Amino acid sequence: MAKTPSLVNLCYGALQSHILYGEDDEIVQGIYELPTELFDGLLKKLPALALQKLQLQMPLERQTEFDLEYDCSGNGRKRVRYGKFEIAWKALFSLRWPELVKHSQENLSSQKSMLECEATFDWQHKYWELHLQNCFDAAAERAMLPSFNGCVGDVQIPDGLIKIMGYEEPTKGSMHHYSRLRGHCKDFGCYVRSLRLQNIFCNKETCQLLANSKLQGLLLRRLSSDMHHDGLCVILNQNRETITSLEFVNCKFSLAVLEVICNTLEMEGTQAHGVKHFSVKASKFLEENPASFPPKLVSFLSSRSLESLSLCDDHIGRNYAKLTLTALLDASSALSTLELSDNNISGWLSDFRCSSSNQALSCKRSKSLQSLRVLNLRGNNLRKNDLEDLASALIHMPVLETLDLDDNPFEDDGIKCLIPYFVKTFEHFPLANLNLKNCKLSCNGATELLEVLLALKYPLTSLSLADNDLGSQIAPLLGDFMHTSIRSLDIRDIGLGSSGFLELRINMPDVVKLISINISENRGGIQAAEFLEDLISRASELVDVHVGYNLMPSESLKIICSALTTAKGNLQRIDLTGNHKICQADYISALSEFQYNGESIVMISTSPSQDTLYDDDP
């Protein structure tokens, strides 16, 4: 039998209906005269649209109204009633997008205290921005159908998106303000600062729909025709005073089109633009081997406002990379992040090897790259000669913090080219993160690198040697390396085996400073569990551990549970997936006891059928 609603809840329901559909403003104004307890209770009950309307109709004098509370010391403290709306907006946002709340708070709290995060995060703004993004995504599904022939503003919005914001149609089947995309843009476009748009929305009509928006971030997908490019330029022209981030995914460009886009972004009366982040991913440049870049593109790339540049998986060759670097060098760029990953740019740094014989060129390069902090060259087929060039170039990057060379087959001879750089820059340059995953290194090359880093006490905080066939012989040196300031270590699939894990245990320090470690796919068996037990007891700051696909027997679970019982409580995740014998253990239910912030920290397969085959299993 359904529970009978209380009189207060019935009143809240009537007030909600009047806020949404009523026309008597006196009743709405009377809501602000409610006692604090009832007013706060109403805010907790209202859906997003009703909360929005109530907040917009609040008299100005009420927005600064406050009651006086007293803390335990007797000191007076203002409590702004208007601030109660932010609490309600956060609750609605959390209910609709719970996975995003945790992610946002983790990112913000890494830079500020939680109190500062709450003060600076505008939940109402973010709610309607994401809602409108959902509306554009839903409209795109219909507008991109071959049968569609009309205005994008007239595309119908699914009932689910309308109801979740709190609007119920007064008359079933009738058309209303929120039944089409246009209505949502009109009411909530002012909250949009960042938006993802499919090519179908690159037109003048979208400019009209977003006329009250001030776009700062724009991601465009599947632009390929002149019509798309022309429409984009109209949107950019409307927002060029505010746009700071521009990203293209799965698009096609000619250099002439990029020239027009760059020209559109220039501020009126100047040659400057406000774009800080520019990215082109999984896209195609029509010119395969250009001799030069057009002037507006060069001007755009060399602007002092550009902070990050990413050309990822665009199939560009070394000519594109060389021309890009030339544009950066010639203007003493202030770029802090450069990503040229998943292309084929071998040879792009060949000019650097002769810089020592040319003082003017060397000086220019030193000034041009002095702001670079992140260099990502993942998956570019770089060989030994490229690493020689890179070693010469790195000298001109005095504040580089992150170097990503993942998935480049330069082998041991290549990594040996970087060792003189580490020796020369020790105590001067701040390189902290080094990724050498899948670089065809052997134990010899990795040993030489680690020995130098250990001898110099090089202050790396993050190192990846994953997916290199190093074998168990590297284990003692890795154990010694844990004595350093290393905080994140990725040694997944390096062939440690049981003997390697035993050596890690023997050589590991009594106090380990690691925050995260990945030791998956090393066929460690019971020794992997024994190592994990020792690690947890010695690493009080350990947060994230990956031990998947290590062929652990069922008795490993008892060892792991014992370690977790004595852990300090900082652990947030232990990934044990792929060890299918563990999920057959009788006391697997005990894992549910180990939680962080109310969530289980142990990831484990519930059945062997959920495990994918290990790499070298038949």
pLDDT single digits (tens) 232-243: 999 999 999 999
Question: 264-297 b/e with 16+ CB inside 10 Å = b?
Answer: bbbeeeeeebbbbebbbbebebeeeebeebbebb
Closest CA to 166 of 88, 241, 243, 239: 88
For 38-59, the pLDDT digits (tens) are: 888 899 999 999 999 998 887 6
Closest CA to 282 of 197, 219, 203, 194: 219
Q: How confident is the model at residue 12 (pLDDT cuts 50, 70, 90)?
A: confident
- Same CATH fold assignment for domains 307-458 and 471-618: yes
CATH classification of 471-618 is 3.40.250.10, yes or no? no
Start-to-end CA span in the chain (Å): 57
**Residue with tokens 């991913």, as numbered in its chain:** 281
Tokens, residue 396:
């001109």
For 441-465, the pLDDT digits (tens) are: 999 999 999 999 999 988 899 999 9
Section 364-381 average pLDDT = 82
pLDDT over 70 at 80, yes or no: no
pLDDT over 70 at 9, yes or no: yes
Q: How confident is the model at residue 316 (pLDDT cuts 50, 70, 90)?
A: very high
| Residues of the chain above pLDDT 70, percent | 84
Q: How confident is the model at residue 5 (pLDDT cuts 50, 70, 90)?
A: confident
* Measured distance CA(485)–CA(61) in Å, rounded: 56
Residues forming a β-bridge with 194: 217
Q: Which residues neighbour 114 within 8 Å (Cβ) at sequence distance 6 or greater?
A: 105
pLDDT over 60 at 261, yes or no: yes
For the ranges 248-252, 347-351, 604-608, 613-617, the one whose mean pLDDT is highest: 248-252
Tokens, residue 604:
């484990």
Section 561-579 average pLDDT = 87
Alpha-carbon dihedral sign for residues 231, 232, 234, 238:
positive
What is the chain's percent helix, strand, coil content, to nearest 5? 45, 10, 40
Section 259-281 average pLDDT = 88
* Measured distance CA(232)–CA(70) in Å, rounded: 55
- The CA distances from residue 509 to 485, 490, 527, in Å, are 12, 18, 17
For 593-618, the pLDDT digits (tens) are: 888 888 889 998 765 544 444 455 44
What does DSSP assign to residue 156?
Answer: B
For 171-184, the pLDDT digits (tens) are: 544 568 899 999 99
pLDDT over 90 at 157, yes or no: yes
Q: Which residues neighbour 474 within 8 Å (Cβ) at sequence distance 6 or greater?
A: 443, 446, 447, 450, 465, 494, 496, 500
Mean pLDDT of the chain: 86
| Residues of the chain above pLDDT 90, percent | 61
* Measured distance CA(191)–CA(184) in Å, rounded: 11
For 352-365, the pLDDT digits (tens) are: 765 544 444 444 55
* Measured distance CA(493)–CA(511) in Å, rounded: 25
Q: What are the extents of the domains in the chain? A: 7-96, 307-458, 471-618
Section 557-574 average pLDDT = 86
Section 199-207 average pLDDT = 95
Q: Which residues neighbour 519 within 8 Å (Cβ) at sequence distance 6 or greater?
A: 491, 492, 496, 501, 528, 531, 532, 545, 546, 547, 550
For 492-546, the pLDDT digits (tens) are: 999 999 999 999 999 999 999 999 999 999 999 999 999 999 999 999 999 999 9
Task: Check residues 21 and 440 and name the one with the higher pLDDT.
Answer: 440
Run of H or E including 574: strand 573-575
- Considering the entire predicted model, what is its pTM? 0.88
Give the lowest-confidence range in 72-86, 321-335, 436-450.
72-86
* Measured distance CA(306)–CA(304) in Å, rounded: 6
CATH topology of domain 307-458: 3.80.10
Q: How confident is the model at residue 62 (pLDDT cuts 50, 70, 90)?
A: low
